[in-house]
Amino acid sequence: MSQLDIQYQPTCDISAIRARAKMYAQIRQFFAERDVLEVETPILSQAGVTDVHLASVQAQRHVQGKKQTHYLQTSPEFAMKRLLASGVGSIYQICKVFRDDEHGRKHNSEFTMLEWYRPNMSLKELMFEVTDLLNVTLKHRFGEVRPTILSYKHAFMDRLDLNPLQASLKELKDCCNRVGLNLDLGDDRLGYIDLLFSHFVEPSLGFDTPVFLTDFPPELASLAKTKVDEDGELVAARFELYIEGLELANAYDELIDADVLRSRFEADNAEREKLGLHVMPIDEYLLAALPNMSECSGIALGVDRLLMVVTEQMKLEKVITFPADVS
């Protein structure tokens, strides 16, 4: 390929670059007014996320003369929780995160995340704060933003007439066949739930108004606590934010029991080994920190996706300068 054939220009236009700069200023002012401290933590770590659905990007580096395999962060969560346990109070961070081989209309393997933590704030209070932020960043598009709250269970039941908290493996398979999703996922119950959710629930969320989707199946708790819902069913204490079929944010009532979290990490790694995936080192620094962390709600928001909504773009490449295939 000659130099004349190489397209060196960004995939987004100058207006998107300016819109990003404006949004960063809005975010920083928003948190400054609430006395939430901006922090910075390393993007490389000796440990990484164990979730079988997330792949970390590995990097080789020398530490004190010894070559080691470290991992680019999929989220700044672990390091930020070490700060929370050290008494820094409410904090936020705008940073780069990495998820290997995630590319497409809504994905790039390197993207920007806004993550913040509010000690002693409930998930309901955090929803109000997220709404306030949306009313700053999206005011020019929607005027006043008034999100609705919908449980994961009821979103499923409204669209597929199936309760994912109770459905058997056979019922999930039958539902997939009924709606034309003829994939054999074996005995992966969560796989069938995710398949149905991604094809028939998620694409319909947040068009009339933004939606906070709450009370996920307990198997999807990740680093959130679990609780019992109004119907007496065990659910994960977390929510996600959807606008125009796009998942923008993911929030947890943070799990601070180190023993429970260790057991979840170990279960993830056992599943990784079973699937032939890389077994991840467990972050012992995080587990050591948790007993000193107060009750807390935390949220991660995809900045690039929010910018897609701000600028009314359908493709992520229209709001970032150089996607992975041209960077």
pTM of the model: 0.95
Q: Residue 102: its pLDDT value, please?
A: 80
Q: What 3-state DSSP class applies to 93? A: strand
CB contact set of 255 (below 8 Å; sequence gap of 6+):
221, 223, 224, 225, 261
Q: Residue 2: its pLDDT value, please?
A: 65
Each residue's pLDDT expressed in tens, for the chain with a length of 327 residues = 567 788 999 999 999 999 999 999 999 999 999 999 999 999 999 999 999 989 999 999 999 999 999 999 999 999 999 999 999 999 999 999 999 988 889 999 999 999 999 999 999 999 999 999 999 999 999 999 999 999 999 999 999 999 999 999 999 999 999 999 988 888 888 889 999 999 999 999 999 999 999 999 999 999 999 999 999 999 999 999 999 999 999 999 999 999 999 999 999 999 999 999 999 999 999 999 999 999 999 999 999 999 999 999 999 999 999 999 999
Give one DSSP letter per residue of 24-41, joined into a string. Answer: HHHHHHHHHHTTPEE---
For residue 237, count CB atoms less than 10 angstroms from its CB and return exposed for 0-12, middle for 13-18, buried for 19 or more: buried
Q: Residue 305: its pLDDT value, please?
A: 97
Q: Residue 188: its pLDDT value, please?
A: 87
- Domains along the chain? 3-146+257-326 (3.30.930.10)
